[in-house]
A and B are shown apart, each in its own frame.
Chain A
Amino acid sequence: MSPFDELEQVRADALDALTACTTLPALAAWEKQYLGRKGQLTRLTRAVGTLPKEERPTFGKRANAIKQELTAAHEARLAQVKQEALSKDLAQGAVDVTLPGRPVALGHLHLTTQTLRQLYAIFAQMGFEVYEAPDVELEAYNFDLLNIPAYHPARDMWDTFWVRDEPHSEARRLLRTHTSPGQIRAMRERAPQPLRVILPGKVYRYEQITTRSEHQFYQVEGLAVGRTITMTDLIGTMHQFAELFYGAGRKIRVRSSYFPFTEPSIEIDTDCILCGGKGCSVCKYTGWLEIAGAGMVHPVVLQNGGYDPAEWSGFAFGLGVERPAMMKYGVKDIRYFYGNDLRFLRQF
């Protein structure tokens, strides 16, 4: 067989073999076999020297053409095989997209913390800073300095846990029954500067634990002292709070009330967040929900805090923390809060 014939034979074999190549390794092997440095075409091209001089250009031209043809054919076949492989992969690699993803543990803030933060944020906008006071309090701070002397009937409003102290101790101690003792602490620290603080914290009541009552819960007390602070400021502040906490458009209602450390004293209701005031079981068919007890700081308390009531005035208010959350989320049992059932906490 003449080199020319061999050349044509290689071309024909190569093209045949190429169509049989269906995988990338087979194509790589084919490329090596025919087009590689030691491949058949290369080997034949090197045989050009054995040809007569006048035939060499023709042979060389033809060999080049075949090389180009085979290269192009390889590239085309390669693209085709890749495409087929890709199509196959796309067709076969499909997953059930409804299978669940890899679980990641997600942490949760306690519902009380979330509610407290809302309150901090709302009152921060109105210029109230957070002031913290102790849980274990002196009787004097929890009661006497707040205008509630011993055996005063007003003490009935709070069932108290007493610390086991030495008998006849001069400074009896208790678990604060409200956040109000912080008022005295804050005032004594800041007087005679004006002040605006909120006092959050745990409070304790000697109460049997039921779905409606806990012996430990949170309160947020607010206190503003200044030279021109009025009842209408208090009512306006409470209205602002109601709108920010319970939603825009909330109405409020003010009722006269009694607290020993405020005079005049009021209670503030908002129109029921569930029925909008029409009356439902949550608002006991009154259309109103109580949201705060409040009032103008009693002159005795201002005095005890270091402010002259002739020149200064102030307002104070007390807010629940668990109850608003209960209303908002339909929690019927307060024991969920400090029972810490994670199935409860993880819902918020």
Chain B
Amino acid sequence: MRIPLSWLNDYVDVKDVPVAELRKRLDLAGLEVEKVDVIGHPGAELPWAPDKVLTAEVLSVRPHPDADRLVLAEVNYGGSEPEIVVTGAPSLYRRRGERDLHLKVAFAWKGAVLFDGHSEGWTKRKLKETKIRGVRSRAMVCSEKELGLAEEQTDIIYLPDDTPVGVPLVEVLGDYIFDFDIKGPFGHLQSVYGVAREVAALLDRPCSREPLEAVTRLGLHTTEQPDFIDLEIRAPDLCPRYTAAMIRRVNIGPSPLWMQMRLRRAGMRPINNIVDITNYVMLELGEPLHAFDYARLHGTQPERPAIIVRRAAAGETMTTLDETPRTFDGETLLITDGAGPVAVAGVMGGLHSEVAPETEDILLEAANFKFTNVRRTAQTLKLFTESAGRFGKRVDPELTLIAAARAAELMQSLAGGEVLPTVGDLYPGRPQPVTISYQPALADRLLGVTVSPQEQARILRALEFQVEAQGADWTVRVPSYRLDVRRAVDLVEEVARIWGYDRFPHTLISEPLPPLRENKSLLGEEQVRDLLVALGLDEVITYSLVDPQDEGRLTPPAAAPLTLPGQPVLLQNPLAPERAQMRRTLLPGLLRTAWANLRYLERVAIFELGRIYYAAGQPSVPEARTGVAEPRYLGALLTGPRQARWWQPQDRSALDYFDLKGIVESLLQSLGLLAETQWQRGDHPSFHSGRCAEVRLHGKRLGFIGELHPLVREAFALPEQPIVLLEWDLDLLLAAAGAVEPERRLKFISNFPPVREDLALVVDEDVPALDVQRAILKAGYPLVVGALLFDVYRGPQVPPGKKSLAFALSYQAPDKMLSSKNINSLRRRILKQVQKRFGATLRA
């Protein structure tokens, strides 16, 4: 919302307040000024030099002796004698030969910097003394474009007749336009007058009541049955009030310059005097108005037209002012006449009854509509007008008559209309006056500062609250336009913001600390992050909203379908089809991240730790249940060469399953879970069938780890290189880590060197190496402290269908050096065990 300071000044005198100071006060009081546009004053795009750009009057116009399209204007600019100005301004050209004129204009003296009126865009030009067809030219009369006031060059600008001559133009036309960003449903702040009222309270100054008093000035009285229109409200729940004034015999034409200028500065385009007046009063008072061409309204009886406010019949249609045909549903509120819809209530008028150049009589609507309904209609029709915006923020129903009178008054003075003294006014939704019981002590309790009761009363009264202050219990009557104030705490806010937050001391909570609880799940999550980062992985955070097609991309054609938990959570209004679903798996996010990074990097080693989402059960508000499960998952991905290029020999082979496995083994080790996991060949459609493990923990599936299926790799447009990844249930992992944590005890640290020996065992091809290793450690417990698998051999020296697993064993006791006798017996025990369990034999 843009408010010119010059306009604000009409109601509250702030001429002596520096603009920056005023802005600061407004900002702090909650009327946030986003920016200030400066016109003419220092700081403007085009400052008008006060000694070179002046007001002036054209006294006479005579033809240029040597040019057909130019004239010579005799201009009094306050100097000792008039200046002759060469101009081609069309309106002056038409007056050539006229004398005794008093046309007030903007005048620029040589040296002034102005915009070039004849070039496209905004080019600054310094006015120089020159000769135009033999006549000296050292000054000019200016157009709006040249002053930076309008984009198009049409004619020179004319100032009001009472403008003094020879004063700096900036004093007359200069301005500061405050662009407000006011958050919240505050209808009372959606107008120049509303802001003026706030400024008056903030600065403790009077605020003019002039714009509110046109009813009295015009001597208007209201009736439910005016003789010029039949009024009926059939939906009083949606239309608390409908006021209709009648203005006869208006002359449609342009509105005066001052009004056009104000409208433009407020961001609206001037159209004609009648439409401009409705917009002007809307900007001034915050009540949207609508002017109908009275002659185009139909009646239910021949004598007079009718206005019926009702809900639309579903499917009813009308073409709005913007020449768009609209179809309405049954909750749309319409203004109709005897023949059909003439306006969408509070949103936009109909094309048919629009004010036109030939319009004579105006039916002026000033109504009040239920704000939620106007908002709903605007949203449904996607029609966000100034009117709908204001109604949507709640407008005081008391304003209709005041604003109608104000507009009628202006139509009388600016369009030559004749205002009928009788105004139609239906007011089925007249609100009860609102009073609040208020204890000034509440402010102290909530604010932590002491604002004296006298000061609180002063502030509330300045904001036009009526305060009956008796002792500790007050009765406060809320002004009709303060629809946002309904509770005592709302009054506390008024006190606080006017008293000034800059006066508040800074304290910390003085109460004892509530009992603290450890957030174990968060600690676990952060621990996993730290471990994976220490293991050389980069953390990524991808979008929760994903392409629903991605789940399909994870399944190669003809493979068994991917099983993901629950049902997908889909959006009703996605931004784009590829962001239409909440992810049920982290894998696509990792694959897409790899894809994007492989364009720039050869090696990607990443992990993500985040929630997946799936529908599980019905939502229930009483039970606070969303019906969506959001377990945390861990995903990781590696691809690219194992080692970076270097100047010495390096391992450039591709990262594979065992690289990722090594990383997660370290993770599991740190969490105390390595020995608790079971690893087995996994069956998951997204993974290479031979290089995929299902990892189980305490009998539950933790997830899969393996190499990406080549067809899935293709589906994600990834380069032809091994990509290894995993996706595990982090909640399960952390729960297990939490469960084993109390069981963890220090293992002995021996001061005796271990005895090492290698043991090569021949077993069947399908015997899992991990099982053999665990059997060795178990059989040798606790004196076998290590069984490192260092070689897997298949070849001539072992029979077909068998493999040799070579383990480096470490024997160590906490308290002595082991003898060869001890070791022999341990070895025998181990061999017996592996023979029994796996049919393993010692390799010759």
Contact = CB atoms under 8 A, between A and B. Distances in A.
- Most chain B CB neighbours (cut-off 10 Å) among A193, A229, A337: A229
Contact of A345 (B30, B35, B538, B644): B538
B501 A235 contact: yes
B386 to A, nearest CB: 15
A254 B501 contact: yes
A232 B505 contact: yes
A161 B597 CA distance: 29
Contact of A264 (B496, B505, B569, B571): B496
Contacts of B509: 126-127, 196, 224, 226, 228-229, 233, 237
B573 A206 contact: yes
A337 to B, nearest CB: 7
Contacts of A226: 509, 511, 514
B183 interface: yes
B731 to A, nearest CB: 12
B597 A340 contact: yes
A188 B622 CA distance: 12
Nearest to B580: A164
B238 interface: no
B644 A103 contact: yes
Interface stretch (A53-61, A69-77, A150-158): A150-158
B375 interface: yes
B624 interface: yes
B623 to A, nearest CB: 9
Contacts of B430: none
Contacts of A263: 487, 489-490, 492-493
B254 interface: no
Given A236-B506, A254-B504, A110 B539 contact: yes
B501 A153 contact: no
A278 interface: no
A128 to B, nearest CB: 9
Given A134-B626, A188-B624, A258-B30, A232 B449 contact: yes
A109 B573 contact: no
A172 B261 CA distance: 48
A341 B835 CA distance: 53
B541 A127 contact: no
B535 interface: yes
A100 interface: yes
B514 A194 contact: yes
Given A113-B529, A339-B596, A108 B539 contact: yes
B392 interface: yes
A45 interface: no
Interface string A134-156: 11111011000000001111101
B507 A232 contact: yes
A236 to B, nearest CB: 4
Contacts of B375: 151, 153
B613 A103 contact: no
B181 to A, nearest CB: 11
Given A151-B375, A216-B544, A340-B593, A127 B513 contact: yes
A264 B544 CA distance: 34
B675 interface: no
Contacts of A342: 538, 597, 600-601, 604, 606
Interface string A94-125: 00000110111111111011000100000000
B438 to A, nearest CB: 14
Contacts of B516: 127, 129
Contacts of B27: 255
A323 interface: no
A61 B239 CA distance: 137
Interface in B330-350: none
A130 interface: yes
Contact of A165 (B513, B572, B596, B613): B572
Nearest to B539: A110
Contact of A138 (B506, B626, B648): B626
Contacts of A131: 519
B448 A299 contact: no
A108 B597 CA distance: 15
Interface in B473-507: 487, 489-490, 492-493, 496-497, 501-502, 504-507
Given A164-B570, A226-B509, A256-B496, A215 B502 contact: no
Given A130-B522, A136-B626, A235 B504 contact: yes
A228 B510 contact: yes
Contact of B447 (A109, A215, A230, A284): A230
A337 B540 CA distance: 9
A336 B613 CA distance: 24
A173 B375 CA distance: 21
B790 interface: no
Interface string A209-253: 100000110000000101111111101110110000000000001
Chain A: interface residue count, which band?
A: 35 or more
A255 B514 contact: no
B647 A99 contact: yes
B492 A232 contact: no
A161 B35 CA distance: 31
Contacts of B28: 253-256
A163 B183 CA distance: 27
Contacts of B449: 231-232
A266 B28 CA distance: 9
A346 interface: yes
Contacts of B487: 263, 299
Given A103-B646, A136-B569, A254-B28, A313 B544 contact: no
B579 A215 contact: yes
A153 B394 contact: yes
Contact of A230 (B448, B521, B571, B627): B448
B740 interface: no
Nearest to B630: A134
B184 A153 contact: yes
A109 B613 contact: no
B572 A196 contact: no
A107 B605 contact: yes
Interface in B7-32: 27-30, 32
Nearest to A99: B647
Interface in B413-467: 445-449
Contact of A107 (B537, B621, B627): B537
A195 B516 CA distance: 9
A232 B506 CA distance: 5
Given A136-B613, A163-B572, A204 B544 contact: yes
Contact of B542 (A161, A264, A338, A346): A338
A232 B571 contact: no
B748 interface: no
A82 B504 CA distance: 82
A102 B648 contact: yes
A227 B511 contact: yes
B185 interface: yes
B643 interface: yes
Nearest to B536: A105
A208 interface: yes
Among all A-B residue pairs, the 7 with the closest Cβ atoms: A230-B448, A256-B30, A258-B184, A232-B448, A264-B493, A107-B533, A256-B497
Given A132-B521, A161-B575, 10 more contacts: A109-B539, A153-B184, A161-B572, A232-B447, A232-B449, A255-B501, A264-B489, A264-B493, A299-B489, A340-B541
Interface of B: 27-30, 32, 35, 182-186, 371-373, 375-376, 392-394, 445-449, 487, 489-490, 492-493, 496-497, 501-502, 504-511, 513-517, 519, 521-522, 526, 529-530, 532-545, 569-575, 579, 582, 593, 596-597, 600-601, 603-606, 611, 613, 618-621, 624, 626-628, 630, 643-644, 646-648
26 contacts: A107-B534, A113-B539, A136-B628, A154-B184, A156-B392, A161-B573, A163-B571, A164-B572, A195-B514, A196-B509, A196-B513, A208-B575, A228-B511, A231-B448, A233-B508, A235-B507, A237-B508, A254-B501, A255-B28, A255-B32, A256-B29, A256-B493, A256-B496, A259-B183, A340-B596, A342-B538
